[in-house]
Amino acid sequence: MATIRSIAKQANVSIATVSKVLNGKTGVKEETRQLILNVAQELNYRPNLNARSLKAGIARTIGILAEDLTVFNTPEIIDGIAVGCDRVGYHYILANLRLFKRFGHRMPDPATHAALIREALDTLLSKQVAGVIYIGSHSHQVPLLAEYNELPFVCAYCTCDTLPSVVYDDETASYDLTERLLQNGADRIGMITGPVDSLHSMSRGRGLMRALYDHRVPYNPALTLTGDWERDSGYRLAAQLLDAGVNAIYAQNDNMAMGVLDCCSARGVAVGRELQLVGFDNRDICQVCRPRLSTVALPLFEIGQTAAGHILKLISEGEPPALLTKLPCTFIERESTIRKEG
Amino acid sequence: MATIRSIAKQANVSIATVSKVLNGKTGVKEETRQLILNVAQELNYRPNLNARSLKAGIARTIGILAEDLTVFNTPEIIDGIAVGCDRVGYHYILANLRLFKRFGHRMPDPATHAALIREALDTLLSKQVAGVIYIGSHSHQVPLLAEYNELPFVCAYCTCDTLPSVVYDDETASYDLTERLLQNGADRIGMITGPVDSLHSMSRGRGLMRALYDHRVPYNPALTLTGDWERDSGYRLAAQLLDAGVNAIYAQNDNMAMGVLDCCSARGVAVGRELQLVGFDNRDICQVCRPRLSTVALPLFEIGQTAAGHILKLISEGEPPALLTKLPCTFIERESTIRKEG
DNA sequence: TTGTAAGCGTTATCAT
DNA sequence: ATGATAACGCTTACAA
């Protein structure tokens, strides 16, 4: 590997001069500059980033602490972070807690969780990262550790008491989607929620209720049924809602919406014409089922970008970002909510 | 941040002694050892990995060069690599080419592709990685660059002329699945392939033909139709196959199988009873559709682990791994191929 | 305009 | 058993 030392020797100058040129500093004769640049090119010089970081005391690198890389939201968020970092010449290091792989849908108990975070954080800190972005595999509170004070820390797709967090705006998305259903002619909207103790169930439900209220459509609690995010609950509860005479169903995630779709197909209900159906999350299935499912796309990439922006601001000691940033979702209209003509 | 220097001062010993203790070297009085360990703990010492790498001239880190992190196969492969690295105390750095994001399904032209690789490789080499694993977003030949000679290099999920590559065994999977279809009572198997110029179309087709031959079932070329990996081609071609009187359909990917499923549902064909259907890839949809789709799971995690094993072997200068490693897939039987009783 | 030298945190050699 | 010191590649005062 070529070093500034080898360049210096080859070009018959001092390493200081080489360093200056390579770092774009002024005060070097143009002729020398060119010479050094040529030699560097010729020797295929690549700066040793470890040496640079050592010298600087900190790496131009942020750590990404992901709860589980293989959960659907995570790669896209990382992609957003990467683009945000690229823009300012920062790199990133990934640490994967593998929470889903290890514990499935249940979170580990807080002590175990904290131990895993601490371990990963140790590695990251050993690599002198300038800050850390924590990516949740779903929305929840992250255990608050004393270690977070050691360096800039931002949460993405999850929250933590005292840390700047970037999440998506459930409630508004739900409000907008309900409004659309109404505009499309629905007046009896059934809703299938997640478990009652889920924050998402709450905020999505609230969005619907607010939209109904604003449009002077009375909210009928009997048309809200509690599911469990799984497809089969969608199937089961759809039957009840259909019996209750709804003309639209809002399933709070795509999985359950798929169950609804099947139930309708079994009962000969034409989704999109007789019944409007909308899901949430914009998973791959939405494009593959028939009719294609209208749904809400999560701003994953933007969450990543925003989190990157936050951490970078924190690192450069700019003003700290807001404690909670809510990014808007996007309603995606497909065939399951085609507007009735007339 | 605590350093060995601060530990040394605190413990009233030299930095050399501290280093020895921290690295588990012998020749230190047990008493001193304990003292140093205590102080290190107390100061919350974390080794500076940059300094270590600088000193060592190389980092205990491998680079992962992914064509696109957001493509479905990639996170799982990375997960496998991560576990492989963890076992031996190696870390990894991720570089994302974003090929799919930038160019969609079409690969960029080789010059552009090479330029992107080179750029990412520069960064990785600047960080003194000990080797690189390249992850393809689909199976194809990777452009061969001179730079690959600078350090150990392994391909995962794709191949490159002279580089050790780890891929999955299409053909055997296809053979096995066909055999299963036969055992389940099928004797007229229709196949929907990908584009003719795809390597996967070829090898999967070959697997089917070999299985038919071995079981003395004549292969009828008229029952093999060419699709384009997209769902709609599955729908369209299923109609033809059904008309031709097949009692099983092998769609060479899950997407197309979903089209087949819809076509069957439209025509009132009971998949799983009247017609066996099998896909390939084991995408999320397989669990969500009804009947659930039998399919072939790709050994993604294993590809990652194996690639990690290869690169680590290369780094430690053990014997070089085989140029091509083919890992077995797993047939996953679900409802779409339930065996006919009797 | 150019060069010398110190120092970032480690490890390792060689004295003591 | 312990310590002084050089070196890894780089940046940066400061000197020439």
Q: Residue A26 sits in which domain range?
A: 1-58
3-class DSSP assignment, residue A322: coil
Question: What is the CA angle B78-B84-B86, rounded to 5?
Answer: 100
For residues A267-290, average pLDDT: 95
Per CB-CB distance under 8 Å, the chain B contacts of A78 are: 69, 96
For residues A228-257, average pLDDT: 97
pLDDT at B342: 39
pLDDT of A68 above 90: yes
pLDDT of A212 above 90: yes
β partners of residue B295: B332
Q: What percent of chain A has pLDDT over 70?
A: 99
Judge whether residue A23 contacts strand C, using its CB and a 7 Å cut-off: no
Give the Cα separation of B242 and B221 in Å (integer).
Answer: 15
pLDDT at B146: 84
> 3-state DSSP: chain B helix, strand, coil percent, rounded to 5?
45, 15, 35
For residues A261-267, average pLDDT: 94
In a domain, A200, yes or no: yes
Q: Does A59 touch chain B (CB under 8 A)?
A: yes
For residues A327-341, average pLDDT: 87
Per-residue pLDDT band for B232 (boundaries 50, 70, 90) equals: very high
Q: Is A157 left (phi over 0), alpha (psi -120 to 50) or beta?
A: left
Comparing every residue's Cα with the C1' atom of nucleotide C5, the nearest one is A16
Please give the C-alpha separations between residue B253 and each of A265, B44, B231, in angstroms, as whole numbers: 24, 52, 9
Q: Do A98 and B79 touch (CB under 8 A)?
A: yes
pLDDT of A342 above 50: no
Give the Cα separation of B282 and B252 in Å (integer).
Answer: 11
pLDDT tens, position by position, B68-102: 999 999 999 999 999 999 999 999 999 999 999 99
Q: Do B79 and A96 touch (CB under 8 A)?
A: yes
Q: What is the mean pLDDT of chain A?
A: 95
| A13 CA from C5 C1′ (Å) | 16
The domain total for chain A is 2
Query: At which of B29, B58, B87 does a domain end?
Result: B58
Longest dimension (CA), chain B: 88
pLDDT at A209: 98
**Lowest pLDDT segment from B269-278, B288-297, B317-326:** B317-326
pLDDT at B245: 96
Q: What is the mean pLDDT of chain B?
A: 95
Instruction: Tell me the shortest Cα–Cα distance from A184 to chain B, in angstroms.
Output: 27
pLDDT at B109: 93
B201 residue type, one letter: S
For residues A123-127, average pLDDT: 97
pLDDT at A144: 85
pLDDT at B140: 85
- Exposed / middle / buried, residue B236 (Cβ in 10 Å: 0-12, 13-18, 19+): middle
In a domain, B122, yes or no: no
Cβ proximity of B211 and B278 under 8 Å: no
pLDDT of B341 above 60: no
pLDDT tens, position by position, A159-208: 998 999 999 999 999 999 999 999 999 999 999 999 999 999 999 999 99
The β-bridge relationship of strands B330-332 and B295-297 is: antiparallel
Per CB-CB distance under 8 Å, the chain B contacts of A74 are: 75
Cβ proximity of B241 and B192 under 8 Å: yes
Per CB-CB distance under 8 Å, the chain A contacts of B1 are: 125
For residues A67-74, average pLDDT: 96
Per-residue pLDDT band for A254 (boundaries 50, 70, 90) equals: very high
Q: Does A125 touch chain B (CB under 8 A)?
A: yes
CA of B27: nucleotide with nearest C1': D1
Q: Do A47 and B255 touch (CB under 8 A)?
A: no
Strand ranges of the sheet holding B61-66, from the earlier edge strand across to the other edge: B91-96, B61-66, B131-135, B153-156, B165-168, B324-327
Q: Angle at which helices A74-87 and A300-315 pack, to 10 degrees?
A: 40
Q: Residue A206's domain is classified under what CATH number?
A: 3.40.50.2300
Q: Does B94 touch chain A (CB under 8 A)?
A: yes
Q: Do B48 and A128 touch (CB under 8 A)?
A: yes
Terminal C-alpha separation, chain B: 73
pLDDT of B249 above 80: yes
Instruction: Tell me the shortest Cα–Cα distance from A212 to chain B, in angstroms.
Output: 31
Query: At which of A33, A58, A83 does a domain end?
Result: A58
pLDDT of B289 above 50: yes
Per-residue pLDDT band for A319 (boundaries 50, 70, 90) equals: confident
Q: Do B49 and A126 touch (CB under 8 A)?
A: yes
Protein-contacted positions of strand D (CB under 7 Å): 1-5, 7-13
pLDDT of B318 above 60: yes
Per-residue pLDDT band for A339 (boundaries 50, 70, 90) equals: low
Q: Do A126 and B76 touch (CB under 8 A)?
A: no
> Across the interface, which of B59, B69, B101 has its CB nearest the CB of A50?
B59
Give the Cα separation of A136 and A52 in Å (integer).
Answer: 32
Q: Give pTM, 2 decimals.
A: 0.96
In a domain, B276, yes or no: yes
> Across the interface, which of A49, A69, A290 has its CB nearest the CB of B75?
A69
Q: Which residues contact B294 (CB under 8 A, 6 or more apart)?
A: B276, B277, B278, B279, B286, B331, B332, B333, B334, B335, B336, B337
**Lowest pLDDT segment from A102-111, B52-61, B162-171:** A102-111
For residues A243-250, average pLDDT: 97
Please give the C-alpha separations between residue A169 and each of A130, A193, B321, in angstroms, as whole numbers: 29, 17, 50
pLDDT at A243: 97
Per CB-CB distance under 8 Å, the chain B contacts of A49 are: 126-128
> Across the interface, which of A46, A47, A54 has its CB nearest the CB of B51?
A54
Cβ proximity of A305 and A122 under 8 Å: no
Per-residue pLDDT band for B105 (boundaries 50, 70, 90) equals: confident
pLDDT of A219 above 90: yes
Q: Does A137 touch chain B (CB under 8 A)?
A: no
Per CB-CB distance under 8 Å, the chain B contacts of A284 are: 283-285
DSSP symbols for A91-146: EEEEEE--HHHHHTTSPPPHHHHHHHHHHHHHHHHHTT-SEEEEE-SSS-BPPP-G
Q: What percent of chain B has pLDDT over 70?
A: 99
Per-residue pLDDT band for A341 (boundaries 50, 70, 90) equals: low
Comparing every residue's Cα with the C1' atom of nucleotide D13, the nearest one is A16
In a domain, B114, yes or no: no
| Runs of H (alpha helix) within B23-95 | 30-42, 49-56, 74-87
Instruction: Tell me the shortest Cα–Cα distance from B171 to chain A, in angstroms.
Output: 26
Q: Residue A38's domain is classified under what CATH number?
A: 1.10.260.40
In a domain, B54, yes or no: yes
Give the Cα separation of B286 and B178 in Å (integer).
Answer: 18
In a domain, B177, yes or no: yes
In a domain, B261, yes or no: yes
Give the Cα separation of A163 and A155 in Å (integer).
Answer: 7
